[in-house]
Amino acid sequence: MSGSILLWPPAASAYARQVDVLIGTFGALVVLLSAPVFVLMIVWAWRYRKGRRADRSPGRNRNIWLETSWSVIPFLLILGFFFWSSAMFLSVQTPPDDALTVNVVAKQWMWKFQHAGGAREINDLHVPAGRPVRLTMTSQDVIHSLFVPALRIKQDVLPERYTQLWFNADHPGVYPLRCAEYCGTDHSEMIGRFIVQRPQDYALWISRMGMDEGLAKSGKDLFNKVGCSGCHGPASPVHAPSLDGLYGSVVALDGGRTVRADGQYLHDSIMLPNSQVVAGYKPIMPAFGNLLDEEEVLQLVAYLKSRKSATPSSGEIGGERP
Ligand code: HEC
Ligand SMILES: [Cu+2]
């Protein structure tokens, strides 16, 4: 892997170049502000060294404006950096709505990627150039951290939780992808490739993967296979909530709280159902934490997200949900 660790890796997105400008400017400012201190320290140490006959009487004329200015000007400059970098931080936290979603499951010691169309890959992540991509990430075991130096972004990947990252890579090429959180013996082997392709090459790659069965489709099969439909299906004798149109709605919980049903809520409802019980239902849903792995939960969550509100004519009983 010689040559793969670069002091200043290539930049593959507009954001990465912004980070470079920020770091470069900040570095320049730090040099500008600290250089006079060191230069004067050396000059004066020389001028007033022991045995030198120099004028050592206390200075008379203090200049209050000069003394204020060397505190206030650096303060304002540094404050400028605070606003500049905060704006960048906020933008990297908010993916655009039209972003392509790729689900990521980290485990000791590999990266698994599932594309929205169902294509899966391990340790390689293919993305189209010039399109925003959002990574929804979780871990199967310990804490990992996804780091793509060429994008200048890094995010912890946690068990039982979804974290996200987004980017818009604009420079086709192959770049390193790493785990930046010590996660056990083979942490240093948890290396992948981040592959940015021209849109037409990416389309070709996706079609070659030959998986048009989507994530939601696998989730639907799983929903029937592991027995969710036995309770949540329309003909079920069990008193369980309908899951149509659940995603994005507001759920009233036992105890009077309400939550918005986002991806994390769906995840937790499956893995730890008794942590949040829907108002009006008994906590009879079994926990699937030991039966399903995080990849399967992603498929179920994708399936639940795809279920729109039932039409009133569907004849389903228990229409608590608007
Ligand atoms: C034994 C019956 C049973 C099985 C099997 C079951 N559930 Fe449930 N589920 C329930 C009940 C009852 C509730 C409401 C009480 C609660 O929140 O725990 C519920 C709640 C939920 C909720 C929250 C619903 C809401 O309105 O907020 C989701 C999501 C869910 N289940 C998904 C699943 C999935 C996915 C599976 C299969 C992996 C599954 N369930 C299997 C009975 C079941
Ligand atoms: Cu790791």
Amino acid identity, position 68: T
Whether residue 10 sits in one domain with residue 149? yes
Atom of ligand 1 nearest to the CA of 236: 2
Quick one: pLDDT at residue 212?
45
pTM of this prediction? 0.64
Give every CB contact of residue 255 below 8 A, 6+ residues apart in sequence. Answer: 279
**Which of residues 196, 212, 228 is at a domain's end?**
212
Distance 277 CA to ligand 1 centre (A): 9
**Binding site membership of 228 for ligand 1 (Cβ less than 6 Å):** yes
Nearest to 104 by CA among 118, 94, 114: 114
- Residue 318 in any domain: the answer is no
* Contact 238 CB / ligand 1 (< 6 Å): yes
Return phi, psi of residue 41, to 5°: -60, -45
Ligand 1 within 6 A of 305 CB? no
Instruction: State if residue 240 touches ligand 1 by the CB under 6 angstroms criterion.
Output: yes
Per-residue pLDDT of the chain (322 residues; tens, 9 = 90+): 434 566 788 999 999 999 999 999 999 999 988 999 999 999 999 999 888 888 888 877 888 998 899 899 989 998 999 999 999 999 988 899 889 999 999 999 899 998 877 788 889 999 999 999 999 999 999 999 999 999 999 999 999 999 999 999 999 999 999 999 999 999 998 999 999 999 888 887 877 775 545 778 888 889 989 989 888 988 788 888 988 888 888 899 988 899 988 888 999 999 888 888 998 898 899 888 888 888 888 888 888 888 776 544 333 333 334 3
Domain count, the chain: 2
Question: Which numbered ligand comes closest to the C-alpha of 106?
Answer: 2
User: Which CATH number belongs to the domain containing residue 273 in this structure?
Assistant: 1.10.760.10
**Alpha carbon of 145 to ligand 2 centroid (Å):** 6
pLDDT of residue 5: 64
Cβ–ligand 1 distance for 216 under 6 Å, the answer no
Instruction: Please report the DSSP string for 183-197 in residue order.
Output: -STTGGG--EEEEEE
Contact 92 CB / ligand 1 (< 6 Å): no
273 CA distance to ligand 1 centroid (A)? 7
Is 162 within the bounds of a domain? yes
7 and 101 part of one domain: yes
For residue 246, give every residue at least 6 positions away whose Cβ sits within 8 Å of its Cβ, in sequence order, or none.
261, 266, 304, 307, 321
> Contacts from 252-256 at CB under 8 Å and sequence distance 24+?
252/278, 252/279, 252/280, 253/277, 253/278, 253/279, 254/278, 254/279, 254/280, 254/281, 254/283, 255/279
- Domain co-membership, 236 together with 159: no
- For ligand 1, what atom is nearest to the CA of residue 254? 17
- Using CA positions, which residue lies closest to atom 12 of ligand 1? 240
Residue 219's H or E segment, with its range, is: helix 215-225
Q: Measuring from atom 7 of ligand 1, which residue has the nearest CA?
A: 285
Last residue of a domain, one of 212, 231, 266: 212
Name the nearest CA neighbour of 133 among 161, 169, 83.
169
Domain match, 125 and 237 both: no
Domain boundary among 181, 212, 243: 212
Q: Is the peptide bond before 166 cis (omega within 30 degrees of 0)?
A: no
Q: How many CA atoms lie within 13 A of 113 on its CB side?
A: 23
Structure tokens, 92: 């990297």
> Can you tell me the distance from the alpha carbon of 289 to that of 278, in angstroms, rounded to the nearest whole number?
19
CA–centroid distance, residue 130 to ligand 2 (Å): 28
- Our answer on whether the CB atom of 246 is closer than 6 Å to any ligand 1 atom is yes
Q: Is the CB of 278 under 6 A from ligand 1?
A: yes
Domain containing 159 — which CATH number?
A: 2.60.40.420
CA of 218 to the centre of ligand 1 (A): 18
Range of the domain at 86: 1-44+65-212
